[in-house]
Structures are given as structure tokens and as C-alpha cells.
A and B are shown apart, each in its own frame.
Chain A
Amino acid sequence: MLDSLTDSHPYTKYIVGTLIFMLMILIDLQLNIFASRTINLFIRVVYFSIMALGFNMLLGFAGQISLGHAAYMGLGAYLTAYFSNFMGWNFLLILLLSGLIPMVLGIALGLIALRMERLYLAIATLGLGVTGQMIFQEWRAFTRGFSGIRLDRPEIFGFAFNNSRHFLLLATAILLLVIILTYNFSRSRTGRALSAMRDSEYASQSLGVSLFKYKLLAFAASSFYVGIAGSLYAYAERFVHPSTWGVELSLDMLAMVVIGGLASIGGSIVGAAFLVLVPRITAATPLLAEITNMNYILTGLAMILVIKYLPLGIYNTIDVKLIQPYLIGRSSKEFRYQDLEKQEEG
């Protein structure tokens, strides 16, 4: 049965996977098998997946780099906290606005990116990220500075998502929407134009790809995603504090995308899961737990090892080596990863 499903649409694997996961949580809702900290872990994986997808749009699909995206995620989180505490608006409206407002700023960043090479852009956005964090610390009227803001779990049509499992289901549903959106986007004319731009700006320009339009689009889309992830973060953790939105978070995004796999939906999710699980696993391992910040060291090592030995990322490698040949052996004609290897020099 699974065969016929994966044959019909290549992205059915994501949908089926997500639905199975949701079903699992639904069953768990009755049986309470998972500990509540496991559920919280799942929630983190889900919103980080959305974040990583957003970052992957930028880095993986469009070949642009930003080290300031943590600030956009923070903005999304603060907007959510502000709107839900002081305006009392509807959850969906807040979620949308928390994506749209960072998106507008993302377009501004895209305008800057138009003038800069990758290296200069990386450093300029690094500066912007730090600036964003400073603004979160200092603009107390909006963010309450270092005291942080508390907020409640969302409510849709009178149904409050106070149970973490309910909230996990909601977040997963949003992730599913984001996956479908991303997949279709990456396969559209626009998505292909983005990949062309990534592989060579000059060549794509000569084929009529407007760098102006597509760079702005890449930044807009990724900041929208990241803003939404920030909104879910705020709802999930019920607390927003400026220290979260530092350069470390931007580095985490990069690590997720690199470790999981560039330009891949599954890669973003695997990367997010990797970064969420590593600290937990090290904390649970007797010897490693003794060492402060062991998870930093492991994540850093993982990044370098992946660059050296699995330049496609963990997920993409598994996909190319195992999943794709299997599907190709059947009927699917999808095979697009060889061009990833040639990516670069953009």
C-alpha cells in the first residue's frame, strides 16, 4: 500500500509520515505512554523543523546566507506574545501576522543582500542579528527586556490547547501545511528559478531569472517561515526572553540545515531533530553528562564531519543511497540530487 502511495506523489512520504506521527500522538492522548518531557521534546522538534525549513529555503534552495535569522524568529515570538497578551487576537491571525511582519523586514534584508557577496552578506547579517538581539534587550515597552514576557497557550474557537499533546497536534498540523507549501514551492517555476540562482547567478541571469525578484522572494519566504516558527516557540514555551535570540540560534539553524541536508524537506526535519536530541542524549549518557557544553562540541564535530564525509547531509545521503534507488526501481522518475553535489561557487 505504501508503494502505491509513494508512487503517486513523491512528497506523500512526508504527508504519510506526519499523519502517522499525529495518529501516534492521538493514540497517546488516550494512553499517555510518552512522558510529558518527551512530548515537549517533540514540540521543540516541530517548531525547529519549521525554522530549519525556512532557513533551508534561503540557504539550500536559494543559496543565500543569513546569520541574523534568529532575530526574525525572535520578532515572531515577541509579536505573538504582544498580540496575545495585549490585543487578545485570534490564534490564526496572530500566527499569520507573526510571519508577515518579519517577512516585510526580510524583504528589507533581501534588498541589502542584492548588493553583497556571500561572505559580506554573512558578516553583515551577523551584525544585524546582534543588533536585533540588542533591540529585544533594550526596547522594554515591547519586549520587557530581561524580565521576558509570559503568555498562554493558544485558543481556537474556544478550545484552549493547554494539554501539551493537543498543542503538539496543532503544531504538527501547521508543520504539515508548511511542508506541503514548501514542496510545491520548490517544484514550481519560482522554486526552480531559485535553484538556478543558487547554482550560478550569472548563468541564471542570462536565462532571464531576475535576481532582484528571486532574492527578495527567498528572503521573504524564509523570514515568514522563521517568524511562524518563532510564534510557535512563544506558544510552546509560554515565555519569551531576549537571550534566546542570539547568534547561537542562527548557528543552530545553519547546523540543522547542514547536518540534515541542504535543499531538502526531510533534511530540515532530521537536522532539527538532531539538534534537539543531541543535548538530551549527552545529558543522559553517564560520562558525557559530566562535561559542560558537551552538546556544543558534538554538534560542531557533526557539522565538520558531515561537510567532510556526507556533503549532502544525513537525510539526503540516506535518501540518495537507499530511498531513491528503491523508488526509481519502481516507477517514480524523481531523481534530483545529483545536481546538489555540483552546487556551490554561487
Chain B
Amino acid sequence: MARIIFIQNIIGGLETGSLYALAALGVVLIYRVSDVTNFAQGEMAMFSTFVTFTIWTYSRAAGLPYPYLIAFIGALIFSAIFGYSIERVFIRPTAESSLLGKMIVTFGLILIVNGSAAAIFGTDSYYMQRAIGGTMIIGNLVVRPHSFFVIFLALVIMAVLFYMIRNTMFGVAIRATAQDRETARLMGVNTTKVTAFTWIMATIMGAIAGLMIAPATNVSTGMMADVHLKSFIAAVLGGFTSFIGPVIGGLIIGIMDNLVGYYISTNWQTVIVYGILILILIFKPYGLFGSRPQKKV
């Protein structure tokens, strides 16, 4: 029995962990390409989830077939537009600011997006259905198909992303921009387009993470606070300098979170997990897979 509970915790950890990984990957993608740390990633995901929720509710009320699928597609379309508009309206005009300035712009975005969400959708919290409902019994194991769906979806998205970054021309452009923006531009890479594209990708990934976590947290303005923070910590744990680091960081945090919550204490769960992370960071300040950035004096 103990072993089954352990396995269930691991599966739960992989489920939330892959969502952290997805969100973290979005943050790292933007960071690598445009030097902006998007602290508003979580809030943007929350906003997208609210829109998805609204589409879901309306299409259910209208009696359309497969309301969840409609909402999912709506989420993809909306978050793409949303990510692009944020980049166009707030990020591009401030691209010449200092590193700290760019960071602060995203803090301002947190306030704007969160405030707008509360103004448009209200401050109540709503129930959102799982992608696949019900439970499944495998041997003695009780699992939700939703968990596997989430893990599968995250894996597919990451596989597509990694394939694209590694093997397509556009991926080369992304890597070139990440390495050296100026030189990439001199070589004919349209860095503006690359930046806009990474914002769209990252927002979509955030929106999917938000949609998948929504059944557990309900849809509310504060729903992403925890996921967002943990995805950031995942990015830090894995290191901002690699694309695979945040994925592994996310999985580690998801699993650790579940295990600590189950075996030690739910109340102190977050405190313990952060404590361990701070300890790791003291010994590996650039993350587990990160390398020390070269700096010009």
C-alpha cells in the first residue's frame, strides 16, 4: 500500500511538474531571446484561462458540441493574440531600457493584467472541468486520466518546441538571437519577428498550463500565483541558460512538492520546498544545468 501511495504521489508530482516545466520553458524562452524576465507570465496565463473559461461556459450554454475542445482552440487563438499584443504594446517600446527597467516593465504588467482580470471577470472563483473526467484503476493504482493527458500534452508541446529549436531554420534564428542579438540581426535574422514569436509561444504555453491547472485551483485572479512562482523557481533550479534545465527543474519541484506535502506536512509544504531550493541555490547559484554567464566589465 505504501508503495502505491508513493507511486500516486509521483504521478501527481509529474502532472503538476510538467505544468511548471511548461510555464518555466515559456519564461526561459523569452529570457533567452529578449533578455526580459517575464514576471507577468503567471498573470497572463490566468487571464487566458479566464477567457477560455468564458468561451467554455458560453459554448456549453449554447449547446455546442465538444465545448471543451472549442474552449481549448479558443485558448490557443486568444493567447497567441494576447501574447503578441503584450509584446507589441509594452515590451517592444521599452526594449531599449536597462535590464532592470525591462524587469520592472513586467512587474507593471502583473498589476495591469491582474487588475484588468479583476475588472473584467470579477474576483470570484469558478469551477473548470478536467480535460478528461473520472478516474481509472490500474491494478491497485487509482489515477485520473487527466494526469496522463496533462503529462502527455506537455511532452508533445515540448517535443515540438525542441524539434523546432534544433532542426528548423526558425529554430536556428531563435538560437542565434538568444546568443547574440546584434550579430543575428547583421546576419539577416529578423529579430523583431523572433521576439514576437517567442512571446506568442510562451503565452500559449502559459495558457495551456493555466487551463490544465484550473480544475485543481479553480479559475480566479489568484489561481496562478503558486504555479507561476514554482515555475520560476523551476527555471532558476534548472538554470536560465539551457532549455532542458527548466523542464527537469519543473519535474523535480512537482515531485518534491507532492512528496513533502504527503509525507511531512501540508501546512509547511511550501516553506520546506523553498528551504531546500534555497539550499541548492547556495551551492549551485546558476541552477543545476546552468553555466556561469560570461560578463563584460
Contacts and interface: CB of A to CB of B under 8 A. Distances in A.
Contact of A127 (B97, B115, B267, B277): B277
Interface in B90-122: 90, 93-94, 97-101, 103-105, 107-116, 118-119, 122
A209 to B, nearest CB: 14
Contact of B107 (A119, A120, A254): A254
Nearest to B283: A115
Interface string A29-60: 00000000000000000000000000000010
A343 to B, nearest CB: 7
A112 B93 contact: no
B29 to A, nearest CB: 15
Interface string A289-330: 001111111011111100110010000000000000000000
B123 interface: yes
Contacts of A3: none
Task: Classify the interface of chain A: helix, strand, loop or mixed.
Answer: helix
A149 interface: no
B118 A292 contact: yes
A304 B285 contact: no
Interface string A93-118: 00000000000000000001001111
Interface-central residue, A118, A126, A343, by most chain B CB under 10 Å: A126
Nearest to B112: A300
Given A119-B240, A258-B104, A303-B107, A126 B232 contact: yes
A115 B281 contact: yes
Contacts, number: 141
A251 B110 contact: yes
Given A127-B233, A303-B105, A308-B93, A135 B115 contact: no
A119 B30 CA distance: 14
B286 interface: yes
A300 B101 contact: no
A131 B277 CA distance: 12
B165 to A, nearest CB: 21
A134 interface: yes
A65 B100 contact: yes
Interface residues of A, number: 48
Given A124-B278, A127-B277, A135-B271, A251 B111 contact: yes
A334 interface: no
B37 interface: yes
24 contacts: A112-B282, A115-B281, A115-B285, A117-B285, A118-B99, A119-B103, A120-B285, A122-B103, A124-B236, A124-B277, A131-B270, A134-B268, A203-B297, A255-B111, A296-B118, A299-B108, A300-B112, A301-B112, A304-B105, A304-B109, A307-B108, A308-B93, A344-B98, A344-B101
Interface of A: 59, 65, 112, 115-120, 122-124, 126-128, 130-131, 134-135, 138, 200, 202-203, 247, 251, 254-255, 258, 291-297, 299-304, 307-308, 311, 343-346
Interface of B: 31, 37, 90, 93-94, 97-101, 103-105, 107-116, 118-119, 122-123, 225, 229, 232-233, 235-236, 240, 267-268, 270-271, 274-275, 277-278, 281-282, 285-287, 293, 295, 297
